[in-house]
Amino acid sequence: MIEKISGIRGMNDLLPEELKLWSFVERKIISLFNSYGYEEIRTPILENTSLFQRGIGEVTDIVEKEMYSFTDNLNGNSYTLRPENTASVMRSNIEHHLTYNGPRKLWYFGPMFRHERPQQGRYRQFYQFGIEAIGYVGFEIEAEQLFMISKLWSLLGLSKSWKPKLYLNCLGTLEERSSFRKALIDFFSIYKDVLDKDSLSRLERNPLRILDSKNQKIKDLISEAPEINQFMGKESLKNFSNLCNLLEERSIPYELNSSLVRGLDYYNSTVFEWVTPFLGSQEAVCGGGRYDHLVEMLGGKPNGACGFAIGMERLVSLLKKANVLKVGSCLDLYIVHIGSFAKIKGLLFSELLRAVGISVKVDMTDASIKSQMKKAGLSTARFVAIFSKEYLDEDAVVIRPIHAPNSVKDEKIGFRTGQEKIKLNNVIKYLQSELSQKEISK
Ligand code: HAM
């Protein structure tokens, strides 16, 4: 027997059942993003490696250990599968002068790739929904983004106890950060013997990264370390407190976390993470913040920006745990038939239905009517139409609701009651009127 080829660890197939749940979530997110004036952008999944080295920062976990990079045999260039999309969107923004006529609000959805140790909620290919607002300075846009995320949890049906919790920090301006950096080097240098290998290597190159450590000994040390707010000037403090005030005005709970530095180096000023206790150790569902210097670092004109990304796998997992996912019926009609004449009639009639926007699946088998009906029952269709010579001779078909509104399940036949004989020339009108009723969940 020929050996089977399996998928790559940490890279998941998304099967139709799962994708029905994803589509429900995707539709809600996209309509929310659109309602705030964000426009979609799509960039390639492959970029020059230098984009991420420069954008995300050389001394970060992502760039040091997690990138899928390879050298192109033809031209010797190094390419990388995008580990995130902010750098790519900024590259595209510079290349296409997207902010030439003023600020732009952009959103994206797609796969990202990080060579991490796979576990529940942490994958090597995972999907992000993200937002980048380019050309915006000030706390107002940050507040609007946080309002939007908070609204998303409600739109998805999460009750108060299930909503992710918002953690906020301010990293200050570049100058403030540089004083903070120096203070951290001074502080941690005293405890070199306590620092682990990773932290030691970061001490001089990127001491802020030490604050990200998961090592309990280092965490204890961090609680004694200097905090960024000791180095923040008037302007930074005022902006941050304005943002906090707006959150309070909208009754959005938050907690300040001075060791929240995020795993990417492009941030300054406000950074945030939405965290849930329901997903084990992979607790961040969404993360983002302001990154005013990234455009400049990538060769563009200085332009303030801020954004965030939501991890789809983690979000869907949370929604499943909270039991709030509803899958609407995706198919309007399933056509079954008795005999080949009826099958062809059904096939031709389905074209007329699709032409007016009714979605139809025709059973293409020659199986018994019982087995076709069983398949119709297992489908997501709201109605089944039975094409048989007996009724076609009267120019009619029989239509039964399956997952239709207000239909009652008949336990004996496993179907819903309420079958009707409908004349062929009335079928479209009948279905259109029935389908216009409120979409129900299965
Ligand atoms: P990030 O915090 O690296 O930020 O990722 C955002 C979200 O993606 C995380 O909160 C998490 O839900 C999800 N995520 C990250 N890594 C994995 C993984 N290995 N498996 C599953 N889910 C994962 C960024 O990527 C920034 N680009 C966000 C941003 C946009 N900042 C400004 N604009």
Altogether, the residues listed in the chain come to a count of 442
Write the CB contacts of 32 (distance below 8 Å, at least 6 apart in sequence).
148, 151, 152, 155
Q: How far apart are CA 68 and CA 332, in angstroms?
A: 43
From the CB of 82, is ligand 1 less than 6 Å away?
A: no
Closest CA to 258 of 173, 180, 150, 174: 180
Atom of ligand 1 nearest to the CA of 114: 19
Query: Would you state the pLDDT for residue 413?
Result: 45
Query: Would you state the pLDDT for residue 441?
Result: 37
Give the closest residue (by CA) to ligand 1 atom 22: 311
Q: How far apart are CA 263 and CA 63, in angstroms?
A: 10
Q: DSSP letter for 6, please.
A: P
Please report, to the nearest 10 degrees, the dihedral formed by the alpha carbons of residues 88, 94, 95, 97 taken in order: 130
Atom of ligand 1 nearest to the CA of 273: 10
Which of 166, 314, 318 best tests ligand 1's pocket when mutated (most atoms within 8 Å of CB)? 314
Long-range contacts at 242-246 (CB < 8 A, ≥ 24 apart): 242/139, 243/139, 243/142, 243/143, 243/146, 243/168, 243/270, 244/168, 246/139, 246/140, 246/143
In 29-171, which ranges are E strands? 39-40, 46-48, 68-71, 78-81, 104-113, 125-134, 165-170
Q: How far apart are CA 261 and CA 259, in angstroms?
A: 6
Residue 109 has phi, psi (to 5 degrees) of -145, 135
Q: How far apart are CA 231 and CA 138, in angstroms?
A: 20
Q: Which residues of the chain have pLDDT under 70?
A: 328-329, 404-417, 437-442
Query: Would you state the pLDDT for residue 375?
Result: 94
Q: pLDDT tens, 147-173? A: 999 999 999 999 999 999 999 999 999
Structure tokens at 418: 């309420």
Q: pLDDT tens, 389-441? A: 999 999 999 999 987 655 555 554 444 567 899 999 999 999 999 888 644 43
Give the closest residue (by CA) to ligand 1 atom 10: 286
Write the CB contacts of 421 (distance below 8 Å, at least 6 apart in sequence).
391, 396, 397, 398
Q: How far apart are CA 258 and CA 228, in angstroms?
A: 7
Structure tokens at 321: 């745990």
From the CB of 84, is ligand 1 less than 6 Å away?
A: yes
**Distance from the CA of 113 to the center of ligand 1, in angstroms?**
10
From the CB of 114, is ligand 1 less than 6 Å away?
A: yes
Query: Would you state the pLDDT for residue 438?
Result: 46
Query: Would you state the pLDDT for residue 404?
Result: 63
| Cα dihedral sign, 205-211-213-215 | positive
Q: How many CA atoms lie within 13 A of 185 on its CB side?
A: 11
Q: How far apart are CA 313 and CA 321, in angstroms?
A: 12
Which of 9, 25, 61, 84 best tests ligand 1's pocket when mutated (most atoms within 8 Å of CB)? 84
Residue 130 has phi, psi (to 5 degrees) of -140, 165
